[in-house]
Structure formats: C-alpha cells, structure tokens
Amino acid sequence: MLRITKIITLFVFVTVSSSAVLAQKETSFTLASPNSEIQVEVNIGKNITWTVSNRSHQVISPSRIAMTLENGEELGTTPKVRDSEKKEINTTIDAINYKKDIIEDHYNQLILKFNKNYGLIFRAYDSGVAYRFTTNRKKEFTIASEEVNFNFPEDHMIYIPYANDPANDVYQISFENLYQHIPLSEINKDTIAFAPVLVELPNGMKAAITEADLESYPGMFLKAGDNDFSLKGEFAGYPLEEEQGGHNGLQSFVTKRADYIAKTSGSRSFPWRVVIISNEDKELLNNDMIYKLASAPRIDDTSWIEPGKVTWDWWNDWNISGVDFKAGINTETYKYYTDFAAENGIENILLDEGWAPKGEILNTIPDIDLDEIISYAGSKGVGVWLWSGYLPLAQNMDEALATYSEMGVKGLKVDFMNRDDQKMVDFYYEISRKAAEHQLMLDFHGSYKPTGLQRTYPNVVNFEGVRGLENTKWSNTDFPLYDTRVPYIRMLAGPMDYTPGAMINASKDNFRAIHSAPMSQGTRVHQLALYVLYEAPFNMLADNPTNYKDEPESTAFIASVPTTFDETVALDGKVGEYAAIARRKHDIWYVGAITNWDARDLEIDLSFLPEGDYEAVIFKDGVNADKEATDYKREVINVKSGEQLNVHLANGGGWAARIYPAQ
C-alpha cells in the first residue's frame, strides 16, 4: 500500500524531429538529486554515456550504456531521441517487514525515449543514482549482451568479492566470498566479482555498485573494465544443458550455456543499475535505495506473514545434553527445540537438512514424525519451518508447497541455488508467487544478493549471499573484520541470513574451527549486538538450546530483540573498523555496536531518544573479554535523550542495549 504525502511533478517534454536528430551531433540532459548535491549528465551522440558527480566531485566519469540483441541490433548506438520527460516525485512507502515502517521516497527522474521503441530511465536520489533500460515492442526478443560500465576518474580503492575459480563455471557460486581491498587498477582481469562492491572516493565519500528489481534477467557480475580504473557488467549465458550434482545431489549444474543472456518479452523494464553514494560511512548503514527501486508488492493480504526468530539445529550439530534420549534428527529432539522456543518467546523452529531422505522433499526419514512435530509445536504456539535443497523442490514445487501448507508448515528455507542466470532468477519469482498462494514464507539460503524481491513478495523474509557464522565450523576467516565490512556493503542490498548467536566465544588466539562444537570469533556481546545491527526479518539462533539455557541473560536479550523495526538510526561507523546502529520498535529502542579485532572506545549519542526518562539494559564486554571472550557485564542504568554514553569495546567486541521508558 502506498501512502502519498506529497507529490511535486514537473513535466518537461522535448520532441525532436527525425531531421533535427540527424543534424544534431550531441545532446546533453542533466538531472540533479533533490538536494542538488548529486548530478547526473547523460550525453547522446554516437553512443549514450552517463556521468555522475557528488558535491562537485566526479564519481562516475563518462561511461557507455548499451544493449545488444541477438540479431545484432544495438540499443544505444547512433541513438535518436524521440522525447524526454523530467519529473520530481516526493512520496512515502509503507514498508513491510523492514527496518522502518515509513520510507521517504523523494527523487528526480528523467525518461528518455528513443526511436526503435526503447528507452532509458534515470533517477537521482539524495543517496545515489540509478538507471534502467525499457523496451516497448510487440514481439519477444533475445538479448545477446548488455554493456554496463562504471568508469572512475582515479585509481580508487575498492572492496570487491571475487567469484570462484574460472576453470569451473564461474557463474555457479555461493556468493559468500571475502572482500579484497585493492586499487581499481589491481583487479584480477581473469575472473569476475559479484555485487555489491564498494569504492572509496576522496574526502571520505563512498560509492557502492549493485542492481535492483532483477526479474527474468541474469544478475550482474562485475569485472575489470576497458579503462585502467573501471568496472563493467558481466552476465551469465542462458542455461542450455544442466546436470544434477553437488551436495547430496541437491544442485543443478550448468554444463552448457547459450551465447545470449536472456529471452524476454518485448515490452518491459529491465533491472536498475545502481550507484549508492555516501558522504560519511555511517550513511551506508541506513540506506533504502534497493527497497525503493523494487517493484511494488504483488500480495494483497500480507497479514499472515509473520517474520521472527527461529531455533537452528544444523550449526550446533544437534548437540543438546542433559536429556534421556539420543539427540539428533528425530522427533524427540525437535520437541526439545520446540519447548525451548516456547519458553523463550522464539516464534519458530527449523528442521534443517536431514529430515527428508537425500535428494527428496516429499518424504521423511523414519525417525521424523512430521505431523506430530507440527501438532506439538502448534500446541505451544511455535511455527515449523522446513529446509529444502533447490533441485528436489524445483522438481516437485506444486505438490510440495500444497502438501506442507496443508500440514501447517509456516515456511521453507530453500538452499543451494548458487546461480543467478535468467532461469534461476525466474525460479525465485515462481516459487515466491506460488508460496504466497499457499501462505508460505521463504528464506533463500545459497542465494544471490537481494535486489528488492522482499518488497515485491513480502513472504520472502531473508536471503543468505553472505559469509555467515556457519563458516566458523571449518574456516579461520577473520570474522570480526568481515563483520564490520558487510553492514556497509552486502547489507545495502537487503537482509542477511548470517545466523548469529554463538554462546561459545573465542579470542583471536583461542579460536579453532570445530565442526561439531563450533565457536565464534570475538566476544559474547559482539554476538548479541549482531541481532540489532544486521537486518534479518527471519533471524536464527545458531547455538543449541542447552547452551542457551545455560546463558539465560544472553538468551533473554536475544529473545527481546525484534526482527523488524519502525525506525532505524545510523549512529557511527567506519568500514572494516566498527559500526553502531539504533533501531526502534514501538517505544523501545535497541542499540548494537561491534568492532573488528581492535579494541576501541565509542561515544553513543542518545539524541535519537524522545524526551523523557528511560531505563537501559546494557550488555558490555567484561574486563577480561580480551582473553576470555565469553566475559561480559549486564547492568541496568537510567538514561535521558541527548546523553553521551562512553562505551568500551574489547578486541572483537561489542555493546548492546535495550532502552525503554522508565515506569
């Protein structure tokens, strides 16, 4: 539902005759953001190029825009402008299951229409710019390639996550790779990377590159461009042949790709090419551009969609203790998880991999009585989610969705897609639509980054596409460093299924990757703060119920943090160093801050609080947390709006608070 508060529309039409176009060497169009700080210039000559500046500093130097069809026709070569239209939009969006309830949607827009029935739309926001192709043709057509360029005027530093070894199908990846922090000129020219990427500009400015409203089209990868300091888009060819394989045969591997990227309807809009621009790093912690650019909701009734938290079994290897049954993938274990969830106000339990025979979706293993688990959980007010590998679900989609919806399942965690070619993107939309018809929610694991699908289909409540806590089971990745990068980069695209909540915490020297009894890097409070800091409408508790029962204070805080909010305030931060965010649900505020492996002192400004007296339940790193990462201190203090709280974060540490009106 769109609530309109104010619309200011200025139409400027320019109609150019054919003879005038032929005589015209170059035409230039300009577009400014509402605050006039960001400027876009579009030049129409032999080609179409765009240039972007922020506060008079060039962000994107002239970069060509084009699309080539399979028949050799090039949209964007010798273009002839038929007409143009400018307008200003100032309205609001009622967000669903988001980090705020109302989004201010204010932008200026330029629409260019060309001969040959295609067009370009440009938008300028105060926080960035975007453009997209449109076509208005009667017949379907095939796209051979799209030329997307982001040229930079200097050799800036970039945070870039490379894809896999190009000796294999480079487009088949988990989208979990780490960020390389390198100059643009040193980007590996023999591979590709996935978005978002983040470019450092002068004077503390940043530019993030990604896409939005990706539908029936391949996702955009990025690679070294033709210039020394540039990036260009790369797109997976359409899958022609596939074979079953991968983990337990749950994946579909492309063995032959077409020399085209998409077959598409003749009249449509294509994905947005997005540059998010910040003047301070903390602005990236509270950016709404992808949600704004996404298509409007296609579900009329969203009252049944209830995101929340969920107990998770796989990361902790079902390692509950103190019970008189053998813990594992069985009915008794999931009843135990259900009891824990009910006792602590956790809305859901998840049956992860193993509840169904390998490669199947419509049967259960003998030790699982799914009807009994669902009935028992329902009696406790707890929802049941099921994990599924991609291929079995894709092969049995209609029957599986109908069966589990009728049984009372609340949602599905879908895993191992590991692609974003056009065929896979179509799968996301198909299952989102059909799941909504059966009132089932979805969590996409093994997925590409979000591009706004969660707005279009609000029953989609989370995405992975991030190197989450599960990797601590086998990897020595520097997680506190990664944890302080992803809120500024990956989280720009949308929610992250990072799965925090470890109760066994380790300092840098004490950490070991252990598969069956895993631990986190950094402090206990670092884990607690992630529930506030990371956007996740469907948020997991990674550890096992026994460990949570042994840590009631930490568990109570985790349980108290909502997964969607009414307001978000970015407090402070620097990419790769630290981040601090405040979020409000009704009249209660939640604050989370984390640091990398460097201890630091922060000042938390409470000016976001309305006037009045408040109590704050605070979790902070203990005095010995630098060596014993589980060490923390909980305290309750009185606070007021405008106060400054001096906060110390230990190595790999954190700080978390729940602030509510004093009684």
Output the domain CATH number for residue 111: 2.70.98.10
* Rounded mean pLDDT, 211-226: 98
CA distance readout (Å), 150 to 222, 463, 530:
10, 26, 33
Q: Residue 464 has which token pair?
A: 């992975």
CATH of residue 512's domain is 2.60.40.1180
pLDDT for residue 166? 58
Residue 595 lies in a domain: yes
CA dihedral 214, 219, 220, 221 (to 10 degrees): 150
The pLDDT, as a whole number, for residue 20 is 39
Hey, what are 446's tokens? 């093994």
Percent helix, strand, coil in the chain, to 5, is 20, 40, 45
Q: Does residue 655 belong to any structural domain of this protein?
A: yes
Residue 75 in domain: yes
Q: Quick one: tokens of 390?
A: 């991609």
Residue with tokens 């273009």: 79
Print the domain residue range for 484. Answer: 468-535+565-663
Residue 327 lies in a domain: no
Alpha helices in 238-389 (DSSP H): 289-293, 331-344, 370-379
The verdict on residue 100 lying in a domain is yes
Q: Alpha-carbon torsion 413, 417, 422, 427, what sign? A: negative
Contact status, residue 344 vs residue 501, Cβ threshold 8 Å: no
Instruction: Give ∠ CA 134-138-141 in degrees, rounded to 5.
Output: 70
To which H or E segment does residue 272 belong? strand 272-278
Phi (first) and psi of residue 203, to 5 degrees: 60, 30
Q: If you average pLDDT over residues 464-493, what whole number do you get? A: 98
Among candidate residues 235, 262, 293, the one where a domain is terminated: 293
**What sign does the CA torsion over 395, 373, 530, 611 have?**
positive
User: For 142-183, how does the pLDDT look when each residue is reduced to its tens digit (9 = 90+)?
Assistant: 999 999 999 999 999 999 999 976 567 899 999 999 999 999
Which token pair is 210? 């990604």
| Contact yes or no for 418/446 (Cβ under 8 A) | yes
Q: Dump the DSSP string for 103-121.
A: EEEEEEEEEEEETTTEEEE
On whether residue 476 sits in a domain, the answer given is yes
**pLDDT, tens digit, for every residue of 233-280?**
999 999 999 999 989 999 999 999 999 999 999 999 999 999 999 999
Whether 464 shows a pLDDT value over 90: the answer reads yes
Question: In Å, how far are 8, 506, 511, 581 from 652, measured between CA atoms?
Answer: 48, 9, 12, 17
Residue 609: its pLDDT value, please?
Answer: 98
What's the mean per-residue pLDDT of the chain? Answer: 95
pLDDT band of 38, cuts 50, 70, 90: very high
Task: Give the count of domains, the chain.
Answer: 2
Of 39, 32, 62, 40, the C-alpha closest to 49 is 62
Q: Is 470 a catalytic residue?
A: yes
* Per-position DSSP letters for 566-613, written without gaps between them: SEEEEEEEETTTEEEEEEEETTEEEEEEEE-SS-EEEEEEGGGSPSSE
Whether the CB-CB separation of 175 and 424 falls below 8 Å is answered with no
**The pLDDT value given to residue 347:** 98
- For the stretch 108-139, pLDDT in tens is 999 999 999 999 999 999 999 999 999 999 99
Token digits for 392? 């079995």
Instruction: Indicate whether 23 pLDDT > 80.
Output: no
Ordered DSSP codes for 59-128: EEEEEEEEEEETTS-EETBS--EEEEEEEEEEEEEE-SSSS-SEEEEEEEEEEEEETTTEEEEEEEETTE
Which residues on neighbouring strands pair with residue 142, listed in sequence order?
Answer: 263
According to DSSP, the residues that pair with 179 across neighbouring strands are none
CA distance 10 to 521: 54
How far is the C-alpha of 487 from the C-alpha of 577, rounded, in Å? Answer: 11
| CA pair distance 576, 157, nearest whole angstrom | 13
What's residue 165's pLDDT?
Answer: 63
Looking up tokens 């948020």 gives 539
Residue 325, domain member (yes or no): no
Of 242, 264, 293, the position where a domain reaches its end is 293
In percent, the amount of the chain with pLDDT more than 90 equals: 94
Tokens of 155: 């050799």
- CA dist 637 → 557, 618, 645 (Å): 16, 8, 11
The answer to the question of residue 352 being in a domain is: no
Catalytic pick among 470, 483, 497, 626: 470
511: which 2 tokens?
Answer: 């950490």
Of the candidates 262, 293, 324, which is a domain's last residue? 293
Question: Which candidate in 105, 176, 352, 415 is catalytic?
Answer: 415
At residue 610, does pLDDT exceed 60? yes
* Structure confidence at residue 26 (pLDDT): 82
User: Is 626 one of the annotated active-site residues of the chain?
Assistant: no
